[in-house]
């Protein structure tokens, strides 16, 4: 059974994705099939198991702060679809 379209659109809003009506319907069918499949994880006994975020035991490494050359603001903003005076320009979003 497909995931209801309003549920699909709720997730799409969380993901900042615009889906058209046909996409949302197809997505509902695909997501439901995948969720059915992953439900098999319920068969695994994980009652006394901690989750793994990283397989190789990593400690967060620290180092001294030091000043070194980095990208200039003009280099950093060069790939932007719209920039003004080396700043990223976006549509107005306050008053």
Partner 1 sequence: MSATAAEIATLVGGGHASAEEIARTTFARIRRCDGRIGAYLRLDEEGALRSAREVDARVRLGERPVLAGVPIALKDAIVTRGVETTCASKILRGWIPPYDAAVVERLRAAGAVITGKANMDEFAMGSSNENSAYGPVRNPWDLERTPGGSSGGSAAAVAAELCAAALGSDTGGSIRQPAAMCGVVGLKPTYGRVSRRGLVAFASSLDQIGPLAHTVEDAALLLEAVAGHDERDSTSAARPVEPYRDSCRGDLRGLRIGVPREFFVAGMDSEVEAAVRAAIEVLGRLGGEIVDLSLPHTPHAVAAYYLICTAEASANLARYDGVRFGHRARGAQDLLEMYQRTRGEGFGPEVKRRIMLGTYALSAGYYEAYYGKAQKVRTLICRDFEEAFRSCDVLATPTSPTAAFRLGERLDDPLQMHLADVFTISVNLAGLPGISLPCGATGAGLPIGLQIIAPAFAEQTMLRAAWAYEQSTDWHLRRPPEWTA
Residues numbered 22-41 forming contacts with partner 1, rule: CB under 8 A: 23, 27, 30-31, 33-35, 37-38, 40-41
DSSP element (H, E) containing 84? strand 83-84
One of 1, 21, 22, 60 touching partner 1 (CB under 8 A): 60
What one-character-per-residue DSSP string does 1-56 give? -PPPHHHHHHHHHHTT----HHHHHHHHHHHHHHHHHHGGGGGS--TT----S-SS
- When asked if residue 90 is in the footprint of partner 1 (CB under 8 A), the reply is yes
The residue written with tokens 């030091």 in the block is 66
Judged by the rule CB under 8 A, the positions of this chain that interact with partner 1 are 8, 11-20, 23, 27, 30-31, 33-35, 37-38, 40-44, 46, 49-56, 58, 60-61, 63, 71, 75-82, 88, 90-93
């Amino acid at each position: 059974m497909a995931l209801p379209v309003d549920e699909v659109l709720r997730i799409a809003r969380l993901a900042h994705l615009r889906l058209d009506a046909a996409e949302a319907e197809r997505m509902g069918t695909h997501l439901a099939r995948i969720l059915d499949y992953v439900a098999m994880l319920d068969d695994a006994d994980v009652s006394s198991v901690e989750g793994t975020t990283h397989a190789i035991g990593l400690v967060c490494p620290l180092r001294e702060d030091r000043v070194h050359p980095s990208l200039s603001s003009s280099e950093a903003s060069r790939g932007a679809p719209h920039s003004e005076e080396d700043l990223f320009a976006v549509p107005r979003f306050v008053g």
